[in-house]
């Protein structure tokens, strides 16, 4: 599917989320500034700006990263997933304030170019306690910048979903760089217990939740052992277990497949929505089209194509029905290939 | 790395982005709708939003535009 592009897509729900986000950030700022003034009152305004924006950006980034695994472990968190984009762009703005103010504060006074100075003012790359931690933050900020400027759906389509996804997966590289940046940074500036606890705690939470959701997914995949008939068809489900106009997701031979039952027919397409990887099997067939549960992109079940005038295409798969059992051939047909729907007799 | 090397890299990146900015202005006015039909009649706020990205990924859109023309 694909809707015409608008600037920022705000609907009632998104406005609500953005309001909550704005309030949460406001409180984070107030909390941090007050605590800082109470415990370390003799600091300049610049330092306060640098530290507050760092704190807000890092907190938001941790929050953004735990949304994915949380939603996989507990579907009640899914609405947060759909509203991650504005969080990401906001996080970038705070990270940028932090980076720019740091460069001005620490590097703009000398007579070499401030960015060159980030790289050359400290070159003790072999020392942990004096490591040039700002370089790590610099590269992380560049990744966050590339992600922020490509966050609109226009980019998903024009850079191709594969490239876009790859670019946005670099958030994990950025996160690693930032954790190291903060660790080596507080080692030099603020070696106190509270900072270490916050850093290790948030990293532990992000890593732990990712491991837990990967574990759950692996367990689920292990239950997906199918019997091979012949000609590469596997028995994967019964006709009865899929309600009308609904789908079932299966994982077989590294293929994520959605089988749909509609109009007394069965069809199978790739389970990954071309918009933002939404799970199509959890959507329904509405007016003859598979409708993604996340943002409503639509696909025709028989050929995996979005109805005109849209141009998204999914891979399709061959099915067979025998004695009420559904068999699937996990070799994907090229995107948009027509596969005749299987009539359900009985 | 020496100061000269870093300065050279920065200058190349800067020139690339500057060329991108000039291209992007022309592209937003004349090419966008031809390369991506979904962008027909979009608002200036949308165009402003994709501008920074165009400055970075402009070469891809230049090639697309040439392909559409020929
Ligand atoms: C150009 C890029 C960056 C530069 C030059 C930079 C510089 C600095 C400096 C100088 C400090 C120590 C400040 C102080 O304690 O007074 C610091 C700390 C920190 N930075 Fe960065 N940074 C950059 C990017 C980032 C990014 C992208 C993040 C991501 C959220 C980040 C998060 C933090 C955090 C959480 C701290 C520790 C809190 C603090 O002491 O302020 N930095 N950075
Ligand atoms: S992921 Fe957005 S519509 Fe499917």
pLDDT at A241: 92
Q: Is A86 on the interface with B (CB under 8 A)?
A: no
B14 touches chain A (CB under 8 A): no
> Which ligand minimizes its atom distance to the CA of A122?
1
ipTM of the complex: 0.94
Mean pLDDT on A104-109: 86
A301 near A290, Cβ under 8 Å? yes
Q: What is the pLDDT of residue A226?
A: 64
Q: Which of A342, A264, A266, A280 is nearest to A314 (CA)?
A: A280
Q: Is A96 on the interface with B (CB under 8 A)?
A: no
**Cα of A20 vs its chain's centroid, Å:** 20
Closest-CA residue, ligand 1 atom 37, reads A182
Average pLDDT of the segment spanning B4-16: 94
CB A132 near ligand 1, within 6 Å: no
Asked whether the predicted pLDDT for residue A311 surpasses 70, the reply is yes
Give yes or no for a contact between B55 and B22, defined as CB atoms under 8 angstroms apart: no
Nearest CA to ligand 1 atom 35: A54
Burial class (CB in 10 A: 0-12, 13-18, 19+), B27: buried
| Residues above pLDDT 70, as percent of chain A | 94
pLDDT of residue A1: 41
Task: Kindly list the domain boundaries of chain A, sorted by start residue.
Answer: 12-220, 227-343
Is the separation of the CB atoms in A245 and A282 below 8 Å?
Answer: no
d(CA A180, CA A166): 22
Q: Is B49 on the interface with A (CB under 8 A)?
A: yes
Of all ligands present, the nearest one to the C-alpha of A156 is 2
What does the alpha-carbon distance between residue A210 and residue A226 come to, in Å, rounded to a whole number?
A: 27
Domain count, chain B: 1
Cβ separation of A159 and B38 shorter than 8 Å?
no
Cβ contact A46:A105 at 8 Å:
yes
Nearest to A116 among B3, B35, B45 (CB): B3
CATH 2.102.10.10 applies to domain A227-343: yes
Nearest CA in chain B to A142: B56
- Which residues form the domain of B36? 3-69
pLDDT at A2 over 80: no
Residue identified by tokens 């024009």 is A158
Q: Which ligand lies nearest the alpha carbon of A134?
A: 1
Contact across the interface for B6 and A154, Cβ inside 8 Å = no
Please tell me the distance between residue A26's alpha carbon and the centre of ligand 1 in angstroms. 20
Which residues lie with the beta carbon below 6 Å from any ligand 2 atom?
A: A 273, 275-276, 278, 292, 294-297
What are the pLDDT digits (tens) for B14-55? 999 999 999 999 999 998 988 888 888 788 889 999 999 999
Least CB–CB distance from B53: residue in A4, A6, A150: A150
pLDDT at A125 over 80: no
Q: Is there a contact between A5 and B41 if contact means CB atoms under 8 Å apart? A: no
Q: Is A159 on the interface with B (CB under 8 A)?
A: yes
């Amino acid at each position: 599917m694909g809707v015409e592009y608008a600037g920022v897509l705000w609907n009632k729900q998104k406005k609500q989320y953005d309001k909550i986000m704005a309030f949460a950030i406001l409180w984070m700022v107030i909390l941090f500034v007050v605590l800082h003034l109470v415990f370390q009152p003799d600091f300049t305004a610049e330092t306060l700006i640098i530290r507050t924006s760092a704190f807000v950006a890092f907190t938001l980034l941790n929050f953004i990263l735990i949304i994915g695994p949380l939603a996989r472990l507990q579907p009640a968190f899914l609405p947060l997933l759909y509203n991650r984009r504005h969080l990401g762009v906001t996080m970038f703005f705070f990270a940028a304030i932090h980076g720019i103010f740091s460069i001005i504060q620490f590097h703009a006074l000398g007579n070499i170019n401030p960015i060159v100075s980030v790289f050359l003012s400290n070159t003790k790359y072999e020392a942990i306690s004096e490591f040039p931690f700002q370089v790590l933050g610099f590269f992380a900020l560049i990744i966050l910048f590339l992600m922020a400027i490509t966050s609109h759906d226009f980019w998903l389509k024009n850079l191709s979903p594969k490239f876009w996804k790859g670019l946005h997966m670099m958030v994990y590289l950025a996160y690693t760089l930032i954790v190291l940046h903060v660790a080596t940074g507080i080692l030099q500036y603020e070696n106190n217990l509270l900072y270490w606890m916050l850093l290790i705690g948030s990293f532990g939470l992000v890593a732990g939740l990712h491991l837990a959701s990967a574990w759950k997914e692996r367990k689920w995949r292990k239950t997906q052992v199918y019997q091979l008939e012949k000609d590469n068809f596997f028995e994967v489900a019964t006709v009865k277990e899929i309600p009308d106009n609904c789908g079932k997701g299966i994982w077989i031979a590294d293929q994520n497949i959605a089988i749909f039952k509609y109009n007394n027919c069965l069809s199978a397409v790739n389970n990954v929505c071309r918009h933002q990887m939404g799970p199509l099997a959890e959507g329904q067939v509405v007016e003859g089209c598979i409708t993604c549960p996340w943002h409503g992109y639509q696909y025709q079940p028989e050929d995996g194509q979005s109805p005109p005038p849209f141009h998204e295409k999914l891979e399709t798969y061959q099915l067979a029905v025998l004695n009420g059992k559904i068999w699937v051939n996990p070799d994907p047909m090229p995107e948009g290939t027509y596969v005749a729907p299987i009539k359900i007799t009985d | 790395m020496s100061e000269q090397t870093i300065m050279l890299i920065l200058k190349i990146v800067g020139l690339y982005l500057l060329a991108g900015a000039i291209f992007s202005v022309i592209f937003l006015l004349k090419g966008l709708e031809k390369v991506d039909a979904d962008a027909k009649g979009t608002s200036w706020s949308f165009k402003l939003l994709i501008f920074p990205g165009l400055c970075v990924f402009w070469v891809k859109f230049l090639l697309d535009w040439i392909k559409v023309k020929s």
